[in-house]
Amino acid sequence: MPFTEESQLLSNSPAGERHRRRTKIIATLGPATDSPEMLEQLILAGMNVARINMSHAGADSTRELVKRIRAVAGKLGRSVGILMDLQGPAIRTGDLAVSLNLKPGERIALTVRGEKSVEERSVDVNYDQLVEDIKVGDHVVVDNGMIQLKVLEKRRNQLTCEVLTEGVLGSRRHINLPGVRVNLPALTDKDIKDVELGIETGVDFIAMSFCREAADVTKLKAILDYRRAPQKVIAKLEDQEGIRNVHEIIEAADGIMVARGDLGMECPLEELPIIQRRVVKACIVRGKPVIVATHMLESMIESPSPTRAEITDVANAVYEQADAIMLSGETSVGKYPVKCIEIMDRIARRIERSGGAGYADLAKMDSLGAKLVKAAYVMSKEVSAEALVVFTRKGSMAHNAAWLRPMHSPLYAFTDNSSLLNQLTLLWGVTPFLVQFAENPESNFEQAVKLLKQLALVQAGGNVVAVTEVDVGGKLIDTILMERVE
């Protein structure tokens, strides 16, 4: 048999599930979900990719968690990707002996380099260039927008600010500087250590926080290339500079994350939906995977049900045909992590049946391989194929097929590359199988059809269309095959 016995076990779809969700779900792991029991529940509920947030995870805990994810996924016979999300160059307040209760109109000093302030309220900040980079009149956003400040005065190593919104300022709170070009490195020393950890543990994706320009992505890719590491780079768009350089970043990265948490602090709120739509569209047109992330079901951290606005938010991302939608605190620390995935799954399935934005119609498919896949896509649509099948060693065939967003036929990718298998879990609509390719490539198609029939993913009398290779006079040629299931 050219297919390994694991080919069925490592499928991402259980037998009999013929109408599956195409939009992938990413779930952040944390204290609420990092046990083997909870991981099993998340995977069975529909988690496709597990996210490890390196802002909170340590090296030893990450090693153990990666092993645990792989073990549970293997036990369940599912392919689950692992995304390591780097902390990035975060600006934070320092430690406070006592939290500060701030009222509108009050003054607070932000100090750097250990400056001692005469103001009644002050806190140190870990970014030494803060005073140089910011201007009088600029706004400082603290703790994900809970506290907003306006800069009144600059003096040596201190900013004097007016409090605009009431809030309680605690230790090590995140700071955003909307519209300010900060002079922080693309990769911190911690990030570089975490990249090495990601390579060591064999994660599938590395997400780069606060990506501002294509050169940032290039720096991370250079590390991976030097180590001959297979990880894919996901660039996170989190500030105005990243949005200004979005097309160059899309070209440089393997995928994009619209990280709406920090982005919502950095950009006018009314612009955020437009930015999301434009980025998703640009990624689909260019053929790069795109993730919509943050605050999707935020109320479910505490509540068993989402708000109607959250349902609509998830639905919009699915309708735009983003490759994946992501849960953060909802699954890492929330009270209802499994239910969050179940609700996302329900919303996505229903919205997918209603159609999509159609951005893939504008796809610029210039390569011969992409055009071949497009021809197979058209054929599968014309004959109402029960399956569109691709065979891939490096992922390009599966990538090209997902790029087209085929709504009419389920998409199955067969690969003999175990590293690639889990990376395919992020692509829209792709169900991956790990196989051992036969010496005779034409028999791969026959065995694929046989396996899909065994799993009740195709039925007798239905058509299957595949992009594969055939042997013509000793030379392998890419071609399109169609077969009626017997």
pLDDT digit string (tens) for 318-337? 999 999 999 999 999 999 99
What's the pLDDT score for residue 346?
97
Q: How far apart are CA 23 and CA 54, in angstroms?
A: 25
Three-state DSSP string of 398-465: HHHHHHCCCCCCCEEEEECCHHHHHHHHHCCCEEEEECCCCCCHHHHHHHHHHHHHHCCCCCCCCEEE
Directed axis angle between helix 337-353 and helix 36-45, to 10°?
10
Checking if the pLDDT of 199 tops 80, the result is yes
What's the pLDDT score for residue 3?
44
Length of the chain: 486
What's the pLDDT score for residue 11?
42
pLDDT tens digits for range 280-323: 999 999 999 999 999 999 999 999 999 999 999 999 999 999 99
Checking if the pLDDT of 88 tops 80, the result is yes
Mean predicted confidence (pLDDT) in 397-402: 95
pLDDT tens digits for range 346-378: 999 999 999 999 999 999 888 999 999 999 999
What's the pLDDT score for residue 474?
65
What's the pLDDT score for residue 1?
35
Checking if the pLDDT of 14 tops 70, the result is no
Mean predicted confidence (pLDDT) in 3-27: 59
Q: How far apart are CA 37 and CA 10, in angstroms?
A: 19
23 CB-side CA count, 13 A: 29
What's the pLDDT score for residue 348?
98
pLDDT band at residue 473 under the 50/70/90 scheme: low
* Active centre residues (catalytic): 51, 92, 236, 294
pLDDT band at residue 12 under the 50/70/90 scheme: very low
pLDDT tens digits for range 415-452: 999 989 999 999 999 999 998 888 887 788 999 999 99
What's the pLDDT score for residue 183?
87
Mean pLDDT over the full length of the chain: 92
What domains are there in the chain, each with its CATH number? 21-88+186-353 (3.20.20.60), 91-176 (2.40.33.10), 364-403+410-484 (3.40.1380.20)
Mean predicted confidence (pLDDT) in 48-72: 97
What's the pLDDT score for residue 15?
37
pLDDT tens digits for range 159-183: 999 999 999 999 989 999 998 888 8
Whole-angstrom CA distances from 152 to 106, 158, 159 are 11, 11, 7
Q: How far apart are CA 410 and CA 448, in angstroms?
A: 14
What's the pLDDT score for residue 19?
60
The pTM (predicted TM-score) of the whole model is 0.92
